[in-house]
Structure 1
């Protein structure tokens, strides 16, 4: 299967002030949470003035939305880097899962932001989880149209499967690691288990 290399939505080499502000916000929001991060802190991290942050984004909520849209675009480009076929259905989904895992492995700030977003679930706003769910639903539609995904289950069930499969280990592996470390004398350093997450309907 030939893979196209995705153009990163959060490129480190994008040196425009607007991109540097957004990327600095991602790092700070991931580390400290959006509520605990001021626009002044974002400006300092990006090497710009607070006035320039306000000029480009207006408010912290608008800046947070820009960060989340960039994360969703990163997921979308990663998924699109794996073509639909021709190949067995399971091969496509497995390749997309691997691509997402590799992208997350290379972007710790996205991982940390996702962990906060899942636990936060702020009411009254379209949050990152909702946007990723919508992206997964579009992925299901595309796979069905290409004859790669089954229609035996509902779109909602398949979205749950995709998101749990791609993100479940992201959230549960730290728990497994911590418990393993608590009993390091019993298990030994070489026995740290690697979590595999799947969904059965």
Structure 2
């Protein structure tokens, strides 16, 4: 169950509505969550939700832009100068920390990007464009090689930063089965998946 990411009582009503929508969409899917239910949980009227976002499409757009903004802020914490391998590693870590801190973002990404019926927004296109702009920035800084195609580097970057969150549930299920079948002793600690991709 995905908990609501709202901890700050000083959030504006608009931000509170958006965050509740993110948490509920991640947990149940957009089709199963009404604007009335979101308004009730936020302690506001449906009219206020409509005032800020217009309709459910506008609310989804705000939720997905918020997710993109999370990625932008995570990447901005890492300077683009220094050893290329170290810069790439620290940027991947920044995105992974952000995802670990915001489970609703992970659940929303899994739901929307893996289920075509849920993917009515432009989240994948937005994240792809963000990654392409980041690759261009890294190439300009001499961190990413100009010898590879920009599109190839963009895909590799997204696989490295987002691949784990899609594959981890499968790895967890396999690990649980293998640990249950092995009665030779206490099960070892479940590993976190590492997805490797070429970024140079």
The residue aligned with 1:155 is 150
* Structure 2 residue ranges without an equivalent (≥5): none
**Counterpart-to-counterpart distance in 2, 1:47 and 1:198:** 44
The residue aligned with 2:167 is 172
The residue aligned with 1:119 is 114
* Structure 1 residue ranges without an equivalent (≥5): 1-9
Secondary structure at 1:189 match in 2? coil
> Residues 102-148 of structure 1, C-alpha deviation per residue, up to 9 Å, x if partnerless?
11100000000000111134599552111000000000010011111
**Counterpart-to-counterpart distance in 1, 2:159 and 2:6:** 26
Superposed CA RMSD in Å reads: 2.0
**Counterpart-to-counterpart distance in 2, 1:123 and 1:106:** 23
The residue aligned with 1:41 is 37
| 1:70 counterpart = 2:66 | yes
> Residues 43-93 of structure 1, C-alpha deviation per residue, up to 9 Å, x if partnerless?
1121111111111111001100000001101101110110112x1111111
* More moved, 47-56 vs 179-188: 179-188
Matched residue count:
191
Asked if the contact 1:100–1:166 (Cα under 8 Å) also holds between the matched residues in 2, the reply is yes
Secondary structure at 1:166 match in 2? helix
| 1:140 counterpart = 2:135 | yes
Of 177, 181, 186, the match for 1:186: 181
Asked if the contact 1:28–1:37 (Cα under 8 Å) also holds between the matched residues in 2, the reply is yes
Superposed structure 1 runs of 4+ greater than 4 Å apart:
122-126
TM-score, normalising length: structure 2: 0.88
User: Cα offset for 1:183?
Assistant: 2.6
**Counterpart-to-counterpart distance in 1, 2:91 and 2:64:** 21
| 1:128 counterpart = 2:123 | yes
